[in-house]
A and B are shown apart, each in its own frame.
Chain A
Amino acid sequence: MTAVRASRVGDSPNRVGGIGRVTGGQRYLADLHVPDLLHAKLVTLDCARARILGVDASAALALPGVHLVMTADDLPQPVPRFGPQNQDRPVLAVGETKYHGDAVALVVADTRELAERAAALVRVDHEELPAVFTVAGALAPDAPLVQDPALRGSDPRARTNVLNEHRVGWGDLAGQEAAAAFIVEGRYTFPMVTHFAIEPHAFMAAPDGDGLAVWSTIQHPNWLQKLIAGLVGMPLSRVRVYAPDPGGGFGGKQHAKHEPAVVFAALKLGRPVRLVLTLEESFQAVRRASCASHVRTGFDGEGRILFQDITADYLIGAYTDIADRVVGKGSYPAAGPYNVPAVRIVARSILSHTVPSTAFRGFGNPQVNWAVESTLDEGARALGIDRLEIRLRNLARKGDRFIPFDTPCDGDWAQTVRLAAERIGWGTPVPEGRGRGIALGIKSGPTTGLSYAIVRLLGDGSVVVYAGTSDMGQGARTVLAQVAAQELGAPLDWVTVVMGDTAIVPYDQQTSASRSTVLMGNAVLAACRDIQAKLRSMAARVHGLDEADITADRGVVSLPDGRELTPLEVLRPGLGRLGGELTGLGEVRKDAEPGHPLGGAPAFFEFNCTVIEAGVDRETGDITIDRHVTVSDVGKALNPLQVRMQDEGAAIMGLGHTLMEHYLFDERGRIRNLGAIDYRIPTSMDLPTELHSEAVENADGPGPYGAKGMSEGALLCVAPAVAAAVLDATGVAIRDLPLTPERVWRALQQHDPEKEAAS
């Protein structure tokens, strides 16, 4: 073995899988070469909602090389429906398109160009129908229903566009309202934004002997396998899902979009079929729920929060996808990381004729955190209490059951807050024309989970790890390899990580909720422990010792006489002439808790404090962020560089919805700004002048070596911290995002300091 560069847990070795990504060798789904491949294209309508009267595919089919124009009529009847929560989404639109981008047909041809040309020739005779695409529109008494009540079963709300309502609360709200010395309230809106992964979604399917092979940019391969197997009526063992590392996911690739349609087409044609979305189509495939919220916060005279009364109306899309879970889980900790005697949260999932919203980094928390932290900011100002101080005064301490009967506060959150404040110099004079803002946020980690890992220690001491996690950029391969390298004493580049193939890799429930370091990490750790037990047994046999007297830990096998052996020194004599290997299996299970509103208490909380120093050009409304400090409580940074990358990445993504991102609709509910020219995300020139990320590590997490999950926290706090800095600098509170120059300018224009001083 070559000399080992630092590659243990706590080091920052180069990204596993990095070389392929810098040489162009990494194969993303659209790069795969598959013989005999056919190409697909969606047929959609240029309206938000329409009744489909008829589809004429004759002109399309007349083109040589066009093999299929598939509509709902060509599918099994009744048309199969799918979805992770409610099986409400048809494989192709049935009778009606329900959002701008809803697919009426799938065209399959010899080339992509041909498929595009053919798709343009498909005539869909349709009648545009009135659409709802705002909260107010969806809730209006005469609003058209987005979903057929007949399909909503016994749901008492079936004749409304309210899909569900989530209520969380505790304490005596009325009593605390009466006791409050001061009450602040505000209404806030959070925009509709899209994931904009640089790799658009892609899907491919091919018959595979008597089974089926499916490729997808999916983050949850096993979930997809189960869905597809059920749709086509095959056993799981005959459906193989390949999940190449996605080029960015952020939640938008968690659940199926067009895989079912592509599968049916491939089965019909008996050939591989691939659909690669355009960027515009990906905007029409996934987004975050927008939200209109109303927050009332009551304080006593010393700034202690007495109650939080929060209502949040999330505008989800035409199909449930995972959106209702987002609303329920995201709103659940909306009262924040504080000890609050009385809380009432009412969050609603409201259907609309828009792109189905889905999971997106932050999972429903950013929308309400925006409102709650902004309200807290205004409350502090009105009470004349320092905005850092008021948070520290109310912050939960380790062990506090700040949400009753739930996971208690699991970190020294005050330490994180103080560190962030210190880094920005909170309390020191603010430079001329600048303002400072601070915000805290928590996000619940996974509430249930199941991860299996298999680890093989091969005869030469090298290691293979099989883990079903999706490495979509967060660096799961590297972290899991580090754990195995550490535990089995192998150099990092002697550890191979196999992911993304359900025929080879054991079951993983999903990659989401920042869970993988904790759950899959623990599974890999458990598998390594399994191997260590076998090494002890092997060493006992080889050396004629009692197994109980031998330890195997972190790559060292210790014998009772003091000798320390490497795993290879045990393996060589232990495997003998026949050779072989040692295999370990690890399982980490977090079972559901039936009584819990979320199905289970979170395994950990992500906690972040963000502090911003910014200035505003009053003439143009431009915000300049001079300093952006983000500190997250991570338990243990298994790979400090990757932790920093994730934290900064989340911060920059948060700047997107804070400053520039939003879907724009016309009066008919069509999206106006599809594509990269008029949907703006942060470029290299849009960064804060100084962006500083730091991690607090107290080894107090449930993951390997005390790790917690992270990567969403920094996103939660950007908007309220920036808006608070703007308020601090200008005296103007803005309650709608994004804070575009025009919006800021308008708010400054409307702000009349004399009027406000008089009131």
Chain B
Amino acid sequence: MHTFAYARPASLEEAVALLAEHGPDARVLAGGTDLIIRLRDGSARPRLVVDVKGVPELAPGIRAGSDGALVIGATTVMTDIAADPLVRRNAPALAEAAAVVGSVQIRNRATLAGNICNASPAADTAPALLVHDATVVAIGPGGTRRIPLDEFFVRSGVTTLARGEIVTAIEIPAPASRITSAHQRRTRRRGHDLASVTLCCGVDDAGVTRVAFGSVGPRPLLRLDTAGVLADPSASPEARAAAFETIFTDARPSARSMRAGPEYRVAMLRVLGRRALATALERRAAGEA
């Protein structure tokens, strides 16, 4: 593996200072399930690795914020997100997504912040976070920023984090309108796999359906069916299909992917959309929050 220096800052201030000083020559180490693979294959060659697991402000944990928001500490691992009662009640799709990130061994290390900062278009948690309007809380030399997740992703491997900034938490606001959600994905086998399509569907009290999907372009996308066709029980299958077509217009799956071809992925978006929508509506009817 590539040689690098290792730092384990004991405070947020120290962590930010290190990252600001070294810029692209430093990489944040949280769960390590993406970074260590890159260190080994040479696609990441930092001079310094900053292990943030000793920073109290980044400690793992999920709590309800004062305004009813769900606040997920940056280094919270997937296992705990999948099992958390608050997450399962308020954002079930996120729990579902966290539960399928890799294997048990991976989920015991992989962090939510790491998943979004790695910014793979196939990030399993991204669609659910987008549907639930997640906000990324980041602290850097310039102070605290709250970045809507939809503005956080740029393209594969690239986010809008500035030099020296570090994610401290991901917040899911208590929505004015309750959202019931469901997560779907396509893989090449039932066993753990990287997704070739990810999708989350959420329906709110006003009947607006939010669909977020990934692995069909450079970044995960969020689209809204503000006309309310998808959640309308009286809408015809044709009308629903047309609404999905509009939602998926910007899907541009790469022709070079090893995991699945573009035609299949686009077709699966429609299938997963329908299925996730059905589950989200069932949950709504069953009174799940």
Contact = CB atoms under 8 A, between A and B. Distances in A.
The answer to whether A and B touch directly, with their CB atoms under 8 angstroms apart, is yes
Interface in A672-694: 672-673, 677-678, 680, 682-686
A680 B190 contact: no
Nearest to B196: A742
A507 to B, nearest CB: 42
A664 interface: yes
A561 interface: no
A677 B194 contact: yes
A660 B186 contact: no
Contacts of B271: 619-620
Interface-central residue, B1, B188, B192, B194, by most chain A CB under 10 Å: B188
Interface stretch (B172-180, B234-242, B255-263): B255-263
A448 interface: no
A745 interface: yes
B193 A680 contact: yes
A82 to B, nearest CB: 32
B143 interface: no
Contact of A742 (B190, B194, B264): B264
A741 interface: yes
B69 interface: no
B5 interface: no
A672 B258 contact: yes
A620 B186 contact: yes
B118 to A, nearest CB: 14
B258 A620 contact: no
Nearest to B37: A677
A746 interface: yes
B266 to A, nearest CB: 12
Tell me whether chain B's interface is mostly helix, strand or loop, or mixed.
loop
Given A619-B271, A664-B258, A742-B261, A682 B191 contact: yes
Given A620-B268, A620-B271, A683 B258 contact: no
Contact of A683 (B189, B260, B267): B189
Interface-central residue, A113, A672, A678, by most chain B CB under 10 Å: A678
B267 A660 contact: no
A620 B193 CA distance: 16
A678 B193 CA distance: 8
B264 A113 contact: no
A93 interface: no
A623 to B, nearest CB: 10
Contacts of A685: 189-192
A274 B260 CA distance: 39
Contact of B189 (A660, A664, A742): A660
Nearest to B260: A742
A19 B261 CA distance: 47
Contacts of B189: 659-660, 680, 682-683, 685-686
Given A620-B271, A682-B191, A686-B191, A673 B186 contact: no
A12 interface: no
A684 B259 CA distance: 21
A407 interface: no
Contacts of A745: 264, 267
B261 A686 contact: no
A683 B191 contact: yes
A683 B1 CA distance: 28
A683 B188 contact: no
Contacts of A659: 189
Interface-central residue, B1, B189, B268, by most chain A CB under 10 Å: B189
A685 B271 CA distance: 23
A660 B188 contact: yes
Interface string B1-20: 10000000000000000000
Interface string A650-676: 000000000110001000000011000
Nearest to B188: A680
A686 B258 CA distance: 20
B269 to A, nearest CB: 12
Nearest to A666: B256
A745 B197 CA distance: 15
B1 A741 contact: no
Contacts of B261: 742
A686 B264 CA distance: 22
Contact of A741 (B186, B191, B192): B186
A672 B256 CA distance: 11
A351 B267 CA distance: 38
B2 to A, nearest CB: 9
Interface in B1-48: 1
A663 B192 CA distance: 19
A654 to B, nearest CB: 15
A740 B191 contact: no
A663 to B, nearest CB: 11
A659 B268 CA distance: 19
Contacts of B260: 742
Contact of B188 (A672, A684, A741): A741
Nearest to B186: A620
A686 B187 CA distance: 12
Nearest to A740: B188
A686 B190 contact: yes
Nearest to B103: A683
A508 B258 CA distance: 43
A595 to B, nearest CB: 47
Interface string A420-431: 000000000000
A685 B103 CA distance: 11
Interface string B225-264: 0000000000000000000000000000000001111001
A185 B264 CA distance: 29
A26 B177 CA distance: 60
Interface string B266-281: 0110010000000000
Contacts of A741: 186, 188
B1 A113 contact: yes
B194 to A, nearest CB: 7
Interface string A727-756: 000000000000011100110000000000
A678 B190 contact: no
B263 to A, nearest CB: 8
A50 B267 CA distance: 40
A685 B99 CA distance: 14
Contacts of B259: 678
A673 B192 CA distance: 16
Contacts of B268: 620
Contacts of B1: 113
Contacts of B192: 683, 685
A637 to B, nearest CB: 30
Contacts of A113: 1
Contacts of B193: 680
A616 to B, nearest CB: 14
Interface in A181-206: none
Contact of A746 (B190, B191, B258, B264): B264
Contacts of A664: 258
B262 to A, nearest CB: 11
A673 B259 CA distance: 10
Contacts of A683: 189-192
B63 to A, nearest CB: 33
B275 to A, nearest CB: 8
The 7 A-B pairs at the shortest CB distance, nearest first, are namely A683-B191, A685-B191, A685-B190, A742-B264, A619-B271, A660-B189, A686-B191
25 contacts: A619-B271, A620-B268, A620-B271, A660-B189, A672-B258, A673-B258, A677-B194, A678-B194, A678-B259, A680-B191, A682-B189, A683-B189, A683-B190, A683-B191, A685-B190, A685-B191, A686-B189, A686-B190, A740-B188, A741-B186, A741-B188, A742-B260, A742-B264, A745-B267, A746-B264
Given A672-B258, A686-B191, 14 more contacts: A620-B268, A664-B258, A677-B194, A678-B194, A678-B258, A682-B189, A683-B189, A683-B191, A683-B192, A685-B190, A685-B192, A686-B189, A741-B186, A741-B188
Interface of B: 1, 186, 188-194, 258-261, 264, 267-268, 271
Interface of A: 113, 619-620, 659-660, 664, 672-673, 677-678, 680, 682-686, 740-742, 745-746
